[in-house]
């Protein structure tokens, strides 16, 4: 198995995500870096969700869905900006793109999951279920980064 990993220069594993990335604040997109992307990777998917939302709203809340391509002459290993973002999916705010942390009740943990893929096809506005279905049989490696956010 590869040493594929995901980090952020904006927060460390398990630490608090700065307020400027919160949905009700500046809703800035955090910088995400991928490391040791496996050979044969054609696409990278990113799913950011909040499993703690289950208690508050009855479901895991989706904050960001990306499908990015590695088909570039240089591949500096970061999303967004260095990968060619092919499509972004619909988050649970009903928007395409990033919707930052917005816990309604208490501190929540947010999970950033990256998947190295050997190639899939998606259309703009896809759901998490669409993405997970398309990824079946195409995942070369997975990586995870967690952060917390307090209202």
The per-residue pLDDT for 69 is 86
Which residues, 6 or more positions from 94, have their beta carbon under 8 angstroms from its beta carbon? none
Residue 150 CA neighbour count, 13 Å, CB half: 3
Show me where the domains of the chain are located: 5-123+133-149
96 DSSP β-pair partners: 90
The Cα–Cα gap between 67 and 44 comes to 6
110 DSSP β-pair partners: 147
SS3 75: coil
The Cα–Cα gap between 125 and 130 comes to 10
CATH architecture under which domain 5-123+133-149 falls: Alpha-Beta Complex (3.90)
pTM above 0.75, yes or no: yes
The per-residue pLDDT for 76 is 44
Q: Which tens digits make up the pLDDT trace of 55-77?
A: 999 999 999 999 998 764 344 44
In the predicted model, what is the mean pLDDT of residues 121-145? 95
């Amino acid at each position: 198995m590869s040493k594929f990993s995901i980090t952020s220069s904006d927060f460390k594993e398990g630490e608090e995500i700065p307020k400027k990335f919160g949905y009700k604040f500046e809703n800035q997109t955090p910088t995400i870096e991928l490391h040791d992307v496996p050979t044969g990777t054609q696409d990278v998917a990113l799913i950011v969700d909040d499993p703690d939302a289950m208690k508050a709203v009855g479901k895991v809340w989706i904050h960001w869905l990306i499908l990015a391509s590695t088909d570039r002459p240089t591949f500096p290993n970061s999303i967004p900006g260095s990968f060619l973002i092919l499509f972004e999916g619909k988050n649970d705010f009903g928007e395409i793109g990033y919707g930052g942390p917005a816990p309604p009740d208490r501190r929540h943990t947010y999970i950033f999951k990256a998947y190295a893929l050997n190639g899939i096809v998606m259309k703009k506005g896809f759901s998490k279920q669409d993405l997970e279905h398309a990824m079946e049989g195409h995942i070369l490696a997975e990586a995870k980064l967690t952060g917390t956010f307090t209202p």
